Chains A and B, each alone.
Chain A
Amino acid sequence: MSPVARLLAHRLGMSLIVLVGVSILIFAIARIIPGDPARIALGPNATPEQVENLRQALHLDQNIVVQYGYFVADLLRGDLGVSLYTNRPVTADIAQFLPATLELVIAAGIMMIGIGLPLGIISARYRGRWPDNLIRLVSLLGVSAPSFVWAVIFMLLFAFYLPLFPIAGRISDIYSIEAVTGFLLIDTLIAGDMRAFGNAAWHIILPAFALSVSGIGQAARLTRANMVETYDKPFIEMARSYGFADRRIANRFAFRPSLIPSLTIIGLDFAAMLGNAFLVEAVFAWPGLSRYGVAVILRKDLNAIVGTVLIISATFLIMNIIVDLLIAFINPRIRHSQRPA
């Protein structure tokens, strides 16, 4: 097995253990609910028999270990139960809402890397001079407010006062795009409708940017910190005395070794963005998991809460595995390693 494949196997196994733990944790949280979920679901007018029937159907009358057993058995068949809020299978609900959220998070992630890393490089290269001070100040401001505050401020500035971007939604109503993947930016391309693609891209810029602001700040700060450390190493001194241009030293010699620790943290930032997407979606009326998640939480819809959190955690674990693999490809010490990972 190649070192990268071995790492993948190791990480998948680890993630599976963690996912089982997550399912137990979430299941436990959902069952400490005060009040009877069956009663809440049916409303105050239900008869005691109706409540009792639903309790039996949901296995709420059994002890908690048996309930978890039923839950895992269903889960393995890809069944997360029925949402008491929408009366549809939880998997169907999530399949409908998750792509919009993922599209937003991935767009924000691309902005985080595409803007944050270059800012960090510039900052480190001009260490102690005005570009460095400016970038440090801006990135610290960026991490100092929750994404909903940025969302509201950007909306006010760039959608109301300067009407550059749309105020809400994923795409204008005039376009009807057949849902294939659920990712509008991909579906519009499949449909071959470039105007619709442009429209969807235009809609996603502002929410994705609001979501990525603190990630950009985080990425810039980390890259700078790592690069500043690298700059003190002798091989940079040597590159300088060979007469390489500052730009080349920054982009090649100092940046590359600093990329690995930055990427690790960027993986963690994805987790934060999956959660923060709820906030941005609420501001921009983005039809993602947010409204569904908040609605099911307020209604104490057990199956839907457990399902949503489980899917989000699984998504996060998958994203982290991807980041780890990326690092393995970048890092020659892992790529060419002969030792077990």
Chain B
Amino acid sequence: MKRTIAILLANPLSLLGVILVSIVVFSAIFADFIVPFPEHRGAVVDFANFNKGPEWPYIFGTDLVGRDMFSRIVYAYRISLMLGIVVLAIAVPIGVTVGLVAGYIGGWTEYVLMRITDVFLSIPPLVLAMSIMGVLEPTLLNGMMAVTAMWWPWYTRLVYNLTRAEKEEGYVLAAEVIGASKLHVIFGEILPNCVPAVITKMTLDLGFVIIIASSLSFLGLGVQPPTPDLGSMVADGAKYLPDSWWLTVFPGLAILIAVFGFNLIGDALREILGADQ
């Protein structure tokens, strides 16, 4: 663990990733103390200052009802990160368990579980989330559910492949020979060896969850106004291109920076932990 962190900080690219992610996470947590206009995250209007380009004190400009874009972007980070963490906290245990069971038990269990996984994987991720969002009311909670529903199969596939390779290893046979229960072999022996790959994927996925969630709200199927969201900010601003460019460019870059940071760290972790699939 210590060694991993040391390597992360020594490489300039992964260091950049750590810095970007730290900035994003820090600003999301301490949003209330950082932003100049905390009240602008809600339904506030200030028509005296509407649609202003970047100028002090509005470093990223103001939107069409006069709210500070910078304040709204920082609060949007908070929601995106929360969504990402909740989605992974639900999707990863489900996906990993299904993958372990299918890979280890084999036979009919494997066939049925993996075909179900295939079904989820053969609907384009965004389309699946969209159709779930469509039937449910577009709220933050339902958004999390929709994204979770499309996320677990990827972990199932990853862990399934790992398990199939691991179960032929000597240590698994040894555990079986001394009479360890299936439960112990799966969770006590095989699972710990899948952890590096899963952690690497989770780092990369925090970025991808932000992408999918912002895509949903870009289409009007995600978080609803006045809650600030990077995707819906870009969608609202796109109608006013090219004159009010700051309405789209800054939230767009905000997505890019956060996801880029997670990807830089994820890439470095993949190399360090040797967790290639």
Closest Cβ neighbor of B119 among chain A residues:
A21
* A283, CB-defined interface residue at 8 Å: yes
- State whether A282 touches B123 (Cβ < 8 A): no
* A239, CB-defined interface residue at 8 Å: no
Given A152-B241, A278-B219, A282-B235: 13 more A-B contacts, CB < 8 Å: A21-B115, A143-B263, A144-B207, A144-B256, A145-B259, A153-B249, A153-B252, A273-B124, A274-B124, A296-B134, A298-B220, A305-B131, A309-B128
Q: Please give, as numbers and ranges, the residues of chain A lying within 8 Å of B115 by CB-CB distance.
A: 17-18, 21
With A160-B242, A271-B124, A309-B131 given, is the CB distance from A149 to B252 under 8 Å? Answer: yes
With A17-B115, A156-B242 given, is the CB distance from A140 to B260 under 8 Å? Answer: yes
Residue from A152, A273, A296, A309 having most chain B Cβ neighbours under 10 A: A152
Q: Please give, as numbers and ranges, the residues of chain B lying within 8 Å of A283 by CB-CB distance.
A: 238
> Contact partner of A30 among B120, B131, B207, CB < 8 A?
B131
- State whether B126 touches A294 (Cβ < 8 A): no
- State whether B135 touches A300 (Cβ < 8 A): yes
Selecting from B47-55, B170-178, B181-189, B210-218, the interface stretch reads: B210-218
Q: Please give, as numbers and ranges, the residues of chain A lying within 8 Å of B234 by CB-CB distance.
A: 148-149, 152
Selecting from A44-52, A57-65, A310-318, the interface stretch reads: A310-318
With A21-B119, A145-B256, A149-B255 given, is the CB distance from A297 to B134 under 8 Å? Answer: yes
* Shortest distance between the CB of B234 and any CB in chain A (Å): 6
Q: Please give, as numbers and ranges, the residues of chain B lying within 8 Å of A19 by CB-CB distance.
A: 122
> Contact partner of A156 among B211, B231, B241, CB < 8 A?
B241
Instruction: State which residues 184-230 of B face A: CB under 8 Å.
Output: 207, 211-212, 214-215, 218-221
1/0 contact trace for A153-180 toward B, CB 8 Å?
Answer: 1011000110000000000000000000
1/0 contact trace for B89-126 toward A, CB 8 Å?
Answer: 00000000000000000000000000110111111111
The CA-CA distance from A34 to B221 in the complex, in Å, is 16
The CA-CA distance from A148 to B230 in the complex, in Å, is 12
With A22-B119, A152-B241, A275-B126 given, is the CB distance from A145 to B252 under 8 Å? Answer: yes
> Contact partner of A297 among B119, B221, B248, B256, CB < 8 A?
B221
Residue from B121, B124, B264, B267 having most chain A Cβ neighbours under 10 A: B124
The CA-CA distance from A298 to B13 in the complex, in Å, is 42
* A3, CB-defined interface residue at 8 Å: no
1/0 contact trace for B119-147 toward A, CB 8 Å?
Answer: 11111111110111111110000000000
With A146-B218, A161-B242, A300-B135 given, is the CB distance from A276 to B126 under 8 Å? Answer: yes
With A144-B256, A145-B252, A294-B220 given, is the CB distance from A34 to B131 under 8 Å? Answer: no
Closest Cβ neighbor of A214 among chain B residues:
B211
Q: Enumerate 5 A-B pairs (CB-CB under 8 Å) in ascending A order.
A: A21-B119, A143-B263, A144-B263, A272-B124, A279-B218
Residues on B lying within 8 angstroms of A by beta carbon are 13, 115-116, 118-128, 130-137, 207, 211-212, 214-215, 218-221, 231, 234-235, 238, 241-242, 245, 248-249, 252, 255-256, 259-260, 263-264, 267, 276
With A140-B267, A152-B238, A282-B219 given, is the CB distance from A146 to B134 under 8 Å? Answer: no
- State whether A316 touches B255 (Cβ < 8 A): no
Q: Please give, as numbers and ranges, the residues of chain B lying within 8 Å of A152 by CB-CB distance.
A: 234, 238, 241, 248-249, 252
- State whether B130 touches A293 (Cβ < 8 A): yes
> Contact partner of B122 among A33, A271, A279, CB < 8 A?
A271
With A17-B115, A21-B116, A305-B134 given, is the CB distance from A145 to B127 under 8 Å? Answer: no
With A140-B260, A148-B218 given, is the CB distance from A297 to B131 under 8 Å? Answer: yes
The CA-CA distance from A311 to B211 in the complex, in Å, is 24
* A326, CB-defined interface residue at 8 Å: no
* A141, CB-defined interface residue at 8 Å: yes
- State whether A282 touches B218 (Cβ < 8 A): yes
- State whether A313 touches B135 (Cβ < 8 A): no
The CA-CA distance from A145 to B256 in the complex, in Å, is 5
Closest Cβ neighbor of A217 among chain B residues:
B263
Q: Please give, as numbers and ranges, the residues of chain B lying within 8 Å of A279 by CB-CB distance.
A: 126, 215, 218-219
Q: Please give, as numbers and ranges, the residues of chain B lying within 8 Å of A160 by CB-CB distance.
A: 241-242
Q: Please give, as numbers and ranges, the residues of chain A lying within 8 Å of B126 by CB-CB distance.
A: 272, 275-276, 278-279
1/0 contact trace for A21-59 toward B, CB 8 Å?
Answer: 110011001101110000000000000000000000000
Closest Cβ neighbor of B251 among chain A residues:
A149
- State whether B134 touches A156 (Cβ < 8 A): no
- State whether B215 touches A276 (Cβ < 8 A): yes
With A22-B122, A149-B234, A298-B220 given, is the CB distance from A275 to B256 under 8 Å? Answer: no
The CA-CA distance from A61 to B234 in the complex, in Å, is 42
- State whether A144 touches B260 (Cβ < 8 A): yes
Closest Cβ neighbor of A282 among chain B residues:
B219
1/0 contact trace for A303-341 toward B, CB 8 Å?
Answer: 001001100110011001000000000000000000000
Q: Please give, as numbers and ranges, the residues of chain B lying within 8 Å of A278 by CB-CB distance.
A: 126-127, 130, 219
* Shortest distance between the CB of A74 and any CB in chain B (Å): 19
Closest Cβ neighbor of B16 among chain A residues:
A137
The CA-CA distance from A30 to B133 in the complex, in Å, is 10
